[in-house]
Amino acid sequence: MASNGSERRARPLIGITTYLEWARYGIWHTEGPVLPRSYVDAMTAAGGVPMLVPPVGDGYAEIVAGLDGLVLSGGADIAPERYAQRAHPKTVNIRPDRDAFEFGLLAAALDAGLPVLGVCRGFEVLNVAFGGTLTQHLPDEVGHTAHQPAPAVFGTVRVTLTEGSMLAGILGGDTKGRCHHHQAIGELGAGLTSVGFAEDGTIEAVERTDAAFVCGVQWHPEEDLGDVRLFAALVDAARRYRAGDHE
């Protein structure tokens, strides 16, 4: 039987950021770190070990030191002050504590060279962290679309990926993303390259070309358990990161 150490070496540990939400379970109604199970199932199917990271404290370096890769998950809108804008009436449910934690964690991850994947909100965090801005309410720009068809309903958006990009190498030239977002990239952050576009021109994927694996997608790949190629690519990058860390 393999030891815990052998299992640790065989399967990378991938941190996934969580939300702090009030939830009911059993007889309890209390605040706790929560995350849709789809993230956990997708990461497990891709060969990684998911580690849930609650947005509490400031032990960024210690967290990063224990991980082989990081997923910034979806969730609430980012405070517009972080990209020098006033709040749009539709920018709601802002979580400054989560913002502070995830921007701090991302900075530590980038400093360490940790492989990073941003999903939906995480994609937006990545862009803002690199100095970019957000369009605060996408329907103002493109009208009612499949990006967010209704509350708690995912739309399907065709995404064209740039030939020669890392993400095109993983997913092919065209893919379909399950989307639920009312915000999007406005001005692209310095150091990022836009490599995926919806038919209406909305940026749906970015990557950092000077890093081994730093990228983000505006859609929710965890919602398609029949296709975990993006998570598997992160796991592969995490294996390479760990191997280099131990040379």
Reported pTM: 0.94
Residues of the chain with pLDDT under 70: 1-9, 245-247
Burial of 196 by CB count in 10 Å (0-12 exposed, 13-18 middle, 19+ buried)?
buried
Q: What residues are annotated to the active site?
A: 120, 220, 222
Tokens of 39: 């993230």
Report the sign of the C-alpha dihedral through residues 33, 132, 154, 173, in that order. negative
Question: Which one-letter amino acid corresponds to residue 229?
Answer: R
- The pLDDT value recorded for residue 144 is 74
- The pLDDT value recorded for residue 9 is 58
The single residue listed with the structure tokens 């993303």 is 177
Query: What CATH architecture applies to the domain 4-245?
Result: 3-Layer(aba) Sandwich (3.40)
- The pLDDT value recorded for residue 245 is 52
- The pLDDT value recorded for residue 64 is 98
- The pLDDT value recorded for residue 143 is 83
Task: Dump pLDDT digits (tens) for 39-95.
Answer: 999 999 999 999 999 999 999 999 999 999 999 999 999 999 999 999 999 998 899
Question: Which one-letter amino acid corresponds to residue 25?
Answer: Y
Instruction: Indicate the domain borders of the chain.
Output: 4-245
- The pLDDT value recorded for residue 145 is 77
